[in-house]
Amino acid sequence: MNKAQLIKLIILGIILSTIGGCAKNTGPAPVSSISASKKLPTIATLTGSRYKIQKGDTLYSISFAAGIAPKLLASLNNIKPPYIIYPDSWLVISNKNQSKTIVKKPPMSKKWHKKLASQKKGGYSKPVAKPKRSTKKPSYTVSTISSKAKKISKWIWPAKGRVVSAYSAQEQGNKGIDIAGLKGSSILASAAGKVVYAGAALRGYGKLIIIKHNDDYLSAYAHNDKIFVTEKQRIKQGQVIAKMGQTGATSVRLHFEIRFRGKSVNPSNYLPKR
């Protein structure tokens, strides 16, 4: 065999191996709302009074970062269902309790003012009895969120593994629980609901999924390696929604949160004992 024939055989072998490698990749690609090469803006914890909407944001991702109920955020900005928002617009963000009643000072009667004016003629005023204050309730109140909570009948564990970081109620504490496991292991929906966010725009959460279960409860699944669901998709309890990873984390884990009206609660109080 001469040198020219040898070169032809080598080139032919390279072509065949390339074709073979492509033919093996026949499995369906995971559905993910983000691209590995696409850089999205990140949202840190929101503490200011306003926030400028970025591409990829949803009302639910912003309310999650701000720690307030999505319905309250929508109400503050007069946004109606289905809660569509637009990049470069500004949202009013408030972490204060909006359920307080604004009480005006009870008005004094006109009769009292006339009596006071007549007594001041001559340069002095006589001591008078205190006016009767109005007993009518103030007519203006801030709209409130219903106090009756819609419960979830049952929650399930979203992943197999050991809890390596527990919930903390401290301001800078862990807002959920961290479950250590193997990369690629299944992440399950803890309860049925609808996906309201799937992306990687929230700083520190990596690839994140947020599921709305009802008007009161959300659950969040962070640091995923692969995402299998899209926004607005209906999810059944126990459905595989992602694969465990370490995006935005230092080790392979699932960071799991339950939010009640925008505020984080201890997932261990809702999940079954194991």
| Of 92 and 171, the one with more pLDDT | 92
Is residue 175 in some structural domain? yes
| Distance from C-alpha of 240 to C-alpha of 257, rounded to nearest angstrom | 17
pLDDT confidence of residue 148: 73
Assign 147 a pLDDT band (cuts: 50, 70, 90). Answer: low
State phi, psi for 15 to the nearest 5 degrees: -60, -45
| Distance from C-alpha of 200 to C-alpha of 42, rounded to nearest angstrom | 8
Q: Tell me which of 131-135, 170-174, 201-205, 223-227 is least confident.
A: 131-135
| Distance from C-alpha of 213 to C-alpha of 196, rounded to nearest angstrom | 10
User: pLDDT digit string (tens) for 148-172?
Assistant: 778 898 999 999 999 999 999 998 8
The domain total for the chain is 2
Is residue 233 in some structural domain? yes
pLDDT at 188 over 70: yes
Is residue 225 in some structural domain? yes
Is residue 241 in some structural domain? yes
Is residue 250 in some structural domain? yes
pLDDT confidence of residue 240: 99
Which of 66, 92, 118 is the last residue in one of the domains? 92
pLDDT at 139 over 60: no
Is residue 19 in some structural domain? no
Is residue 184 in some structural domain? yes
DSSP, residue by residue, 173-234: S-SSEEEE--TT-EEE-SS-EEEEEEES-BTTS-EEEEEE-SSSEEEEEEEEEEE---TT-E
Same domain, 84 and 179: no
Assign 24 a pLDDT band (cuts: 50, 70, 90). Answer: very low
| Domain encompassing residue 78 | 50-92
Q: What is the pTM of this model?
A: 0.66
State phi, psi for 164 to the nearest 5 degrees: -105, -10
Assign 48 a pLDDT band (cuts: 50, 70, 90). Answer: confident
